[in-house]
Structure 1
Amino acid sequence: MLRRPLPLAIVVFLLAEALFLLRLPVPHQLVFDEVHYVPAARALIALSGPTNIEHPLLAKWLIALGMRLFGDTPFGWRVMATLAGSATVAAVFGIVWQITARARSSLVAAALTLLGFTVYIQARIAMLDGFMLGFLTGAIFMVGWALRRGGWARWTGAAILLGLAVACKWLAAPYVAFAAIAFVILKREDPRRFPGLTIVPAVALLGLVSIATYFVTFAPAFFYSNDPLTLARLIPFQLDMYHRQTQVLPAHTYQSNWWTWPLLIRPIWYLYEPADGAQRGILLIGNPVIMWPGLVAVAACWWGWVKSGSARLFAAAALWTGSLGIWALIPKSLGFYYYYYPSSVFLVIAIVLALDYWRCRFWDIALLAVATALAIYFFPVLSAQALPDPNAFQHWTWFTTWV
């Protein structure tokens, strides 16, 4: 049983951070959606006026913070994203520890998160999703901590982190509702859970604190030199963001439907062009040996819950299912594989809990071994290594839809 997880969690964080920082400035040019968010961060640094207003501000001003600290350079653009990625890996470690109290299961979860490809790539690019998931996984950990130990401070911390996640990207908003629903169900099922907390005040606190935290992150916009935000315009501005989020967009080469994401039908080439004197590529794809078997693990968690009523199996299965299912309801005209990013991480939790419940001894080691082998195989197109020629992509594109 793991009784002192914090030192081990810090080691996990530092190891992940060292991996993400390695060759971070390569390529020395804007990659994929960095063309939107780096200019928006520059505008925040200058407080020149609203830019990229279809998204909230927090992730962009975190990118801007990195640029203020380390300069308007590729390292400066991406360094804060590495911290968000490392926080995500450490939070997954913590979440699994909250559930199993086992060092082995927690370390396997952290390792699979690192080997799943998606965290590695999103931790090395100045996009919004990595920041959102860093706060979101932290919030899930805090909810689990409050479930076991109670206390208004832990529950308030979870609410603040959820508000910060939404302030990075609206995709996190449904998780506020998920947290409230989970609290009510679990508390009614066993009043000993969330000790010291009661249903109505806790749910009210969750909503009020997360909403207040979200709105506080708009503070920089009140100081724009051009078209500054005002209190009177704060709510109408949210409606404008909604209209921009739901507008019908033209077709895109890498668009895909939500139900295709778990099957790895249409990954995205974030980069494939000459850069820094060589042909380079960055392919956003999940590790097949984690993504495909992970679907079996989700089914096993659902089946185990039906048989045993295990709350932990239900939580793991529902977390992944809900994270994907919201895309069936969100009114977006286009979908992309990177929207699957949270689900690709939650899948790891389902895998580890399924292996733990079904007592599949040594399967975790086998899975880690094969996942590591595939990580080495794909590494050149995960990390923008120099490739031999423009046709090198054929080595990693197993299917025509991966091109």
Structure 2
Amino acid sequence: MNETTAAPARHRPTRWWTILTALAVLGLASRLIGLSHPTDSGTPVFDEKHYVPQSWQVLRGGWFAGVGGIEDNPAYGLVVHPPLGKHIEAIGLAVFGDTPFGWRIMSALCAVGVILLCAAVTRRLMLAARDGATAGAGAAGAPADAAAVAAADWAGLAAGVLALCDGILFVTGRSGMLDHFQVFFVVLTVYLLLRDHAQMEARFRRVAAEGRMADSSAGPRLGYRWWRFAAGVTLGCAVAVKWSGLYYIAFFGVAVVGIDWWRRHRFGVRQPLRGTLGRDCVPAVASLVIVPAMVYILSWRTWFSSETSVFRHEAEAGNERIAGWGLDFLPDSWLNFLYYHLSVLDFHEELTNSNGHHHPWESKPWDWIASTRGLLYYSQTSDTTGDKEVVLLTGTPVIWFLAAPVLLWGLWRLAVRRDVRWAVPVVGYLAGFLPWLLNVDRQMYLFYAANLAPFIVIGLGLLLGRIATWSLRRPDAAAGAGRLTAFWLRRTGYALGGIYLVLVVAVFLFFLPIFTGMPLTHTEWQLRMWLPGWT
């Protein structure tokens, strides 16, 4: 197959906005229709039973009035996640009340945001040159040709459809749990970092065009990077939902600095490492470490303001563990804050199989690679008909079965061909996967893999965008075929990608009953149990 070429043509933003609008409408319909089903006799299901009461208490505690608004309910022994996710969920409760729709609406809206962000990130990556310089309007200054824009729009559409139809993103996005809030902030961080990258490319190109690149052996100063600052804010929000957001601070921080070095090297800076260390690293630490830390602490504002918060007065009560630290110079509120965090850390470290914590639906990181072990959210069997109503968390097979090959391809493109676009899906996936391998004794579940799904989707979108340039018809071939045949011969890649997306939609619709709790006969249920790890 040959890759097609095309002459430069004017950018067509209307097509892209039409695609985004269509994805938003489909996302809202898929995430909101039937959102109130199922429930456990009108109460939350699965781990919603933890977060919905805590979110309701946040609301009742006066969060919107600026006081209280923190979990002090001792029913579960210890509140083990930061407050931001519950604060967001409380917005839905404030508008729609303590109802199933109110529990889940904010997660569903974030799920629609994830679909759009996956599409936007993939399109922006497709419009980037292999050296990492973004093409297109307002970025590097060189307009993309019609074929490149069409392929980018197609890749964005493909990623949006994949995110729309993935089972893990679908189920977690219709649940009153915390996972999709973090997914949203992680993918939003990626988008903001890409905007920062495009802006830095434009600045370097301007300096090069003005002949000022050699003015300093370290390369140019870049000014304040507001997109990166915004990424620091969203990273802080990711940590303020769940501590696993720390992994993304580490991985994204290293990746950003590495790309900063690569940019200086590529533009011919005489001492790119010196320039990176002196002019990029310190601001990067400020934006991607200090800013997230400040956002995280700010998310605990209501904990400090409430007198009934968990562990709010441990130091005043003479807690022996706190007394042994020798940190009496700190205010009691900060000592209590540290004690709370150490207690949460103890909880997570002790939640291991070797300590007797076992769950029939737990899984390990290697089970997440192809989603070979599911997670049962809800199950009910009718006493009269024998029909089953089940919500099973598992990835759409035709997406997740391709995850490992696509990411290995991306790793090869990144390491061997130096195609830095693939840093997004590869680094993003590894940030959500590798840290869990450090303690496989810990009790884990498939919903931890929700953060992996967007990067699988983005990787597949990039691959489909590349395939879109394939053509079975050579540009110099004689015009002997009919118009329709010639049309599809020129667009072989689009045809192949379209067939795959139709398959994805068909498989998603086939599995939709076990994603939403629709009644199924035993035979219908068995037809959907493709793997032993799903039962």
* Shared fold (TM-score, shorter chain, > 0.5): yes
Deviation, structure 1 residue 301: 1.4
Deviation, structure 1 residue 154: 1.1
Aligned match for 2:398, one of 263, 281, 289: 289
**1:238 lines up with 2:370 in the alignment:** no
Aligned match for 1:18, one of 21, 29, 33: 29
Deviation, structure 1 residue 10: 5.1
Aligned match for 1:221, one of 303, 309, 314: 303
The one-letter amino acid of 1:119's match is L
Separation of aligned partners in 1, 2:383 and 2:246: 39
The Cα offsets for residues 322-377 of structure 1, whole Å up to 9 and x where unpaired, read as 32112112576111111111112211111122333454513321221111111111
Deviation, structure 1 residue 40: 1.2
Deviation, structure 1 residue 321: 2.9
Larger mean Cα displacement after TM superposition, 124-133 or 23-32: 23-32
* 1:396 matched residue in structure 2: 528
* 1:96 matched residue in structure 2: 122
Assess, with a 3 A threshold, how the Cα gap between structure 1 residues 334 and 306 changes in structure 2: closer, same or farther.
same
The one-letter amino acid of 1:206's match is L
When the two structures are aligned, how many residues end up with a matched partner? 400
* 2:271 matched residue in structure 1: none
**1:268 lines up with 2:375 in the alignment:** yes
Assess, with a 3 A threshold, how the Cα gap between structure 1 residues 13 and 236 changes in structure 2: closer, same or farther.
farther
**1:50 lines up with 2:153 in the alignment:** no
1:118–1:284 Cα contact (<8 Å) kept = yes
1:300–1:354 Cα contact (<8 Å) kept = no
Q: Secondary structure at the match of 1:198?
A: helix
1:245–1:332 Cα contact (<8 Å) kept = no
The Cα offsets for residues 92-125 of structure 1, whole Å up to 9 and x where unpaired, read as 1121122113111111101101111111111110
The Cα offsets for residues 64-86 of structure 1, whole Å up to 9 and x where unpaired, read as 22111110000000000111111
2:364–2:440 Cα contact (<8 Å) kept = no
Q: Secondary structure at the match of 2:27?
A: helix
* 2:174 matched residue in structure 1: 124
Larger mean Cα displacement after TM superposition, 136-145 or 391-400: 391-400
1:316–1:353 Cα contact (<8 Å) kept = no
The Cα offsets for residues 27-47 of structure 1, whole Å up to 9 and x where unpaired, read as 143121101111111221233
Assess, with a 3 A threshold, how the Cα gap between structure 1 residues 276 and 144 changes in structure 2: closer, same or farther.
farther
Assess, with a 3 A threshold, how the Cα gap between structure 1 residues 318 and 153 changes in structure 2: closer, same or farther.
closer
Separation of aligned partners in 1, 2:21 and 2:60: 35
2:424–2:455 Cα contact (<8 Å) kept = no
Separation of aligned partners in 1, 2:37 and 2:27: 18
Separation of aligned partners in 2, 1:396 and 1:114: 20
Assess, with a 3 A threshold, how the Cα gap between structure 1 residues 148 and 172 changes in structure 2: closer, same or farther.
same
Assess, with a 3 A threshold, how the Cα gap between structure 1 residues 285 and 49 changes in structure 2: closer, same or farther.
closer
Separation of aligned partners in 1, 2:107 and 2:192: 21
Higher helix proportion (structure 1 or 2): 1
Q: Secondary structure at the match of 2:392?
A: strand
Larger mean Cα displacement after TM superposition, 230-239 or 377-386: 230-239
2:119–2:160 Cα contact (<8 Å) kept = yes
Larger mean Cα displacement after TM superposition, 315-324 or 279-288: 315-324
1:2–1:103 Cα contact (<8 Å) kept = no
Assess, with a 3 A threshold, how the Cα gap between structure 1 residues 160 and 394 changes in structure 2: closer, same or farther.
same
What TM-score comes out, normalization by structure 1 length?
0.91
Assess, with a 3 A threshold, how the Cα gap between structure 1 residues 156 and 276 changes in structure 2: closer, same or farther.
farther
Assess, with a 3 A threshold, how the Cα gap between structure 1 residues 144 and 366 changes in structure 2: closer, same or farther.
same
Q: Secondary structure at the match of 2:452?
A: helix
Deviation, structure 1 residue 11: 4.7
The one-letter amino acid of 1:36's match is H
Separation of aligned partners in 2, 1:198 and 1:142: 17
Separation of aligned partners in 2, 1:7 and 1:241: 46
**5+ long unaligned stretches in structure 1:** none
Assess, with a 3 A threshold, how the Cα gap between structure 1 residues 214 and 81 changes in structure 2: closer, same or farther.
same
Aligned match for 1:168, one of 241, 255, 272: 241
Aligned match for 1:379, one of 512, 515, 527: 512
Larger mean Cα displacement after TM superposition, 220-229 or 155-164: 220-229
Identity of aligned residues (%): 24
Q: Secondary structure at the match of 1:125?
A: coil
**1:135 lines up with 2:182 in the alignment:** no
Deviation, structure 1 residue 174: 0.9
* 2:499 matched residue in structure 1: 366
The one-letter amino acid of 1:12's match is L
Deviation, structure 1 residue 6: 6.0
Deviation, structure 1 residue 7: 6.7
Assess, with a 3 A threshold, how the Cα gap between structure 1 residues 211 and 275 changes in structure 2: closer, same or farther.
farther
* 2:446 matched residue in structure 1: 337
1:40–1:60 Cα contact (<8 Å) kept = yes
CA-based RMSD of the aligned residues comes to 2.5
**5+ long unaligned stretches in structure 2:** 1-10, 62-69, 128-151, 201-223, 268-275, 313-332, 471-492
* 2:220 matched residue in structure 1: none
Separation of aligned partners in 1, 2:187 and 2:237: 11
Assess, with a 3 A threshold, how the Cα gap between structure 1 residues 332 and 42 changes in structure 2: closer, same or farther.
farther
Separation of aligned partners in 2, 1:183 and 1:98: 17
Separation of aligned partners in 1, 2:261 and 2:225: 18
